[in-house]
A and B are shown apart, each in its own frame.
Chain A
Amino acid sequence: MMNRKKALIAKALFLLAFVIIWEIVAKRNVFGSNSQIVFPTIETIAKAFVRNFKVGYAGISLWKYILNSMELLLIGLFLGIFLAFVFSAISMINPTFYEIYNMLVSICDLLPGVALLPVVIIIFGIHRSVIVFLVIHSVIWPMSRNLLDGFHSFPQIYIEAGMNIGLRGKSLLTGVYLPATTAYILSGLKVGWARAWRGLLSAEMIFGIASSPGIGLFINQMRTNLNNAEVYATLIVIIIIGVIVQYGIIDTIEKHTIKKWGMSK
């Protein structure tokens, strides 16, 4: 392994080289007269970035699209995680429920949410709830899988140690089961978030829900209008959101929980 400083320099140099080569390709029209359309210059992309937020599309700033997407994402994540906890908890109490739910999780976990969309749209119509449904579907199965696995694989002595100090039922759940499965919960969250985020963008691009226009719709509109600089600028926004969630939120939670406790898998 390289030391951190060297690695940081290497990465920075790579990015710089990438930007420079891009700029040369853009300025020299390397790909013929339409080159600027495929490879707009960095300045054009930067201006498009600002324009996305200032002007936006159809008189609405990109902010609004982001907020719409995030709202649906958060509602779906919250409901999906909540339901996963409820069903997984019931599974711990009732063996029959466990068998059936475990089977259901295994089956549904394999089903990409986007593939479900045609069916869901037949039922709900093209509506915001379709996106929420997709997000719930993205997060509930991996979260449940991790919870079910986690509940069965932490050292069972924690349970007896918990009962010995007076924990029972609900207090045992919050005092032992949840903290003991934190590593599993976080990995369920990571998979769930990744699937939900990708699924949401795809669904918005494919079906473009007009009653709640989101980032996917925005980027798709930019493409149909041949605003390629805006497309790149939006991609950068999408990457930034991903970085914030991964490094700003998930990694921070890990650092303050399982890393601190010496419990990372």
Chain B
Amino acid sequence: MSKTILSVRNLNKVYQDDKSVILENVNLDVEEREFLTILGPSGCGKTTLLRCIAGFEDYTGTVTTDGKVTKDPDVDRFMVFQDFNQLFPWKTVKKNIQYPLRIQGLKDKDELERIANETIASVGLKGYENYYPYQLSGGMKQRVAIAKALALKSKIILMDEPFAALDAMTRTRLQKELLNISKKTDCTFMFVTHNIQEAIILGTRILVFGDGGKILVDEKNPLAKPVSPSSEGYGEFWDRLHSALYQSDN
């Protein structure tokens, strides 16, 4: 039995400027090394939940990460945004990865070099160490963002539709790579997506949110990895998630 790495208790979120309740009493436990994918209709609060967990928003309730109550942003919960702009354009790929480590107090040059090279290789960007972000494609930038989290050894990687703005081919390739990465690391993933197929391919556990962050479906992924649309039971599972999503739309 693995341990609970993240636990959300009675989380409520209201944005200041308008009074409607975005998240209402959300409770969620995530186990270490799980790959949690989250589906839900637009505007149901998926982004808001990730932002609360990451510490970018105020909320009531508690978020506990690895036994500690966490309220402010920190490296234990690393956010990979959909926006390709999340890298610092004034730093090369390698510096973007090393800088957070330096901030965290790692000074040893060899160690910095080793970690950067290792993580850059693991996201398939060998040879691009000294490129600046403007010289990279959107998919490459997202890989660097993932590499930052891997280098930092963040306990939880929060991913908010990181591949949504990519073309289909790049998206499929990145899904495959992320799947491989997730098998090799001890990180836990929370991955928001609009795409049911993506949720099934990546997730070891799949949630469907309804309005207010209500959890409509919470299931372990019954399909063995690697999943493809021709996998046994894929269609049935897809239909179940789809109807839950569709139902929540009403």
Contacts and interface: CB of A to CB of B under 8 A. Distances in A.
B132 A261 contact: yes
B5 interface: no
B85 A157 contact: yes
Contact of B89 (A160, A163, A175, A261): A261
A100 B73 CA distance: 32
Interface in B69-90: 72-75, 77-79, 81, 83, 85-90
Contacts of A171: 103
Nearest to B56: A160
A110 B242 CA distance: 61
B128 to A, nearest CB: 15
Contacts of B112: none
B104 interface: yes
A176 B91 CA distance: 11
Contacts of B77: 164
Contacts of A158: 85-86, 88
B174 interface: no
Contacts of B201: none
A165 B89 contact: no
A155 B82 CA distance: 13
A69 to B, nearest CB: 34
Interface in B101-123: 103-104
B127 to A, nearest CB: 19
Given A157-B85, A166-B75, A176-B88, 14 more contacts: A155-B83, A155-B85, A157-B81, A157-B86, A158-B85, A161-B86, A165-B75, A167-B103, A180-B90, A257-B90, A260-B132, A261-B89, A262-B132, A263-B90
Interface string A171-214: 10001100110100000000000000000000000000000000
Interface of A: 155, 157-158, 160-161, 163-167, 171, 175-176, 179-180, 182, 257, 260-263
A257 B78 CA distance: 28
Among A165, A171, A257, A261, chain B packs the most CB atoms within 10 A around the CB of A165
A182 B55 CA distance: 28
B85 A164 contact: no
Given A155-B83, A164-B54, A166-B100, A262 B134 contact: yes
Nearest to B145: A161
Contact of A160 (B73, B104, B152): B73
Interface of B: 54-56, 72-75, 77-79, 81, 83, 85-90, 99-100, 103-104, 132-135, 148, 152
Nearest to A162: B88
A164 B79 contact: yes
A6 B78 CA distance: 53
Contact of B78 (A164, A167, A175, A262): A164
Given A163-B56, A165-B100, A261 B85 contact: no
B54 A166 contact: no
B80 to A, nearest CB: 10
The 5 closest A-B pairs by CB, nearest first: A262-B134, A165-B100, A163-B73, A179-B90, A155-B85
B104 A157 contact: no
Contacts of A179: 88, 90
A180 B133 CA distance: 13
A92 B17 CA distance: 21
Contact of B103 (A155, A160, A166, A182): A166
Nearest to A160: B56
Nearest to B79: A164
Contacts of B72: 163
A160 to B, nearest CB: 6
A179 to B, nearest CB: 4
B88 A166 contact: no
Nearest to A161: B86
B103 to A, nearest CB: 5
A9 B133 CA distance: 37
Among A164, A166, A167, A257, chain B packs the most CB atoms within 10 A around the CB of A164
Nearest to B82: A157
25 contacts: A155-B83, A157-B81, A157-B83, A157-B85, A158-B85, A158-B88, A160-B73, A161-B79, A161-B87, A163-B55, A163-B73, A165-B75, A165-B99, A165-B103, A165-B104, A165-B148, A166-B74, A166-B100, A175-B99, A180-B88, A261-B89, A262-B133, A262-B134, A262-B135, A263-B90
